[in-house]
Structure 1
């Protein structure tokens, strides 16, 4: 099976992910900070990395950028966070992440994301993925070819977010799917969706209209 590097400053998260992935037959290495992650990535050349965003020394996005700019992003990276936002997820994909999982991570979503990550082709040569965004986001090339973002925990686990489009258009598509997911999950309740997404209800309604979200499909319990 695969060799997977888990990078997270929380001991409990590292232990849980290690147990799950080991049970699935994978080899697992653990790092609690960016320094350890750098060393392990260089030594073991993992097939996939699970990388926490919020770490005390160097955050995951910064480490992801570093790997991309130095040509070391030769493996799929799945970002993890308990405080994820749309902006954070979009930024992660700009710099080469292939998926974003929201904590607490369910077993099903973790295994699906890992399976999809390992099914991706190996590192792409610069410009090899014609029509797709540059994996590093800075035009340097040489990173892991990422045509789409699977937002496992943050949105529907089946959602594929195409990156080969203008940023504004991509963000609108991302946000539309995000709000449609929460509307469906809360049976159309604007009150509960406002609470879940942290938006004031009037602002939420304007946002949904702006994005073209069809509210008529979610009128059950829509108070």
Structure 2
């Protein structure tokens, strides 16, 4: 499945999350502080990080910021805390955290956040691979997106192919907030296509309450309702 790094100074939390995620088939790495987390991020390249905010050596938000500044925030990070304020959660999200889980964490919320994080990570990795392939093709004088000496086939228009095409145009040199908004637009439009424009099924799939989901889509400029269904037809 996936490699997940759990960073928490409480041994009980580490063991519980390790057991739950292990039962889901994931390989789980455990770190009790930021120092261990740095080493494991370097040596193991986890697919996802569950990061506690309050730790004795370096707090999770500071570690998150460190990874972002060094260009090492290449994996989805989900923050965890039992005492964090709304301002702290907002700050972590601004830096680049994907989600925030409040302790005690319910099993449903944990697994939902992990699934969302791994899905996002796979889409970003696929986009990077596609852009690298395009860059290599252009370097040898080929047509962007088409391997050298291979005749382009008819492009199949599916939700996934459309999402991949849109991801390949993302500007990775843009500010983090702009890049994140652009990715989220692609993510939600992809799932809207899969659900044929159904907001009910989209809310269930993404684990976001409908009212908040409507506000989120409006903020991102994603069309919903009748207009969206017409554009998908």
- Tell me which interval the TM-score lies in, with the shorter structure as reference length: 0.5 to 0.7
2:53: which partner in 1?
A: 53
1:134 corresponds to: 175
TM-score relative to the length of structure 2: 0.58
Q: Compute the displacement of 1:122 (Å).
A: 2.5
Higher relative contact order (CA 8 A, sep 6+): 1
Provide structure 1 residue ranges, at least 5 long, that are not aligned to the other structure.
149-155, 166-223
Q: Relative to 1, partners in 2 of residues 1:20 and 1:33: Cα closer, same or farther, differing over 3 Å?
A: same
Query: What does 1:132-211 align with in structure 2 at a 5 Å threshold?
Result: 134-135=175-176, 147=184, 157-158=208-209, 159-160=212-213, 162=216
SS in 1 for 2:124: coil
- Partner of residue 124 from structure 2, selected from 110, 122, 125: 122
The runs of at least 4 consecutive aligned structure 1 residues that moved more than 3 Å come to 127-130, 145-148, 156-165
Checking the alignment, whether the CA contact within 8 Å between 1:78 and 1:101 is kept in structure 2 is: yes
| Equivalences, count | 152
Specify the alignment match of 2:192 in structure 1. Answer: none
TM-score w.r.t. the length of structure 1 is 0.60
**d(CA) in 1 for partners of 2:88 and 2:114?**
20
Structure having the larger proportion of residues in helix: 2
Which digits, 9 at most, give the CA deviation of each residue in 1:35-88, with x for residues without a partner? 000000011000000000010110000000010111100000000000122111
Rg comparison, structure with higher value: 2
Any stretches of 5+ residues in structure 2 without a counterpart?
A: 129-167, 186-206, 220-233
The verdict on how the C-alpha distance between 1:103 and 1:28 changes in structure 2, with shifts beyond 3 A counting, is same
Q: CA RMSD in A?
A: 3.1
Mapped to 1, the partners of 2:89 and 2:217 lie a distance apart of 12
Q: Does the C-alpha gap of structure 1 residues 163 and 59 become closer, same or farther in structure 2, counting only changes over 3 Å? A: farther
Q: Secondary structure at 2:58's aligned position in 1?
A: coil
The yes-or-no answer on 1:82 pairing with 2:82 is yes
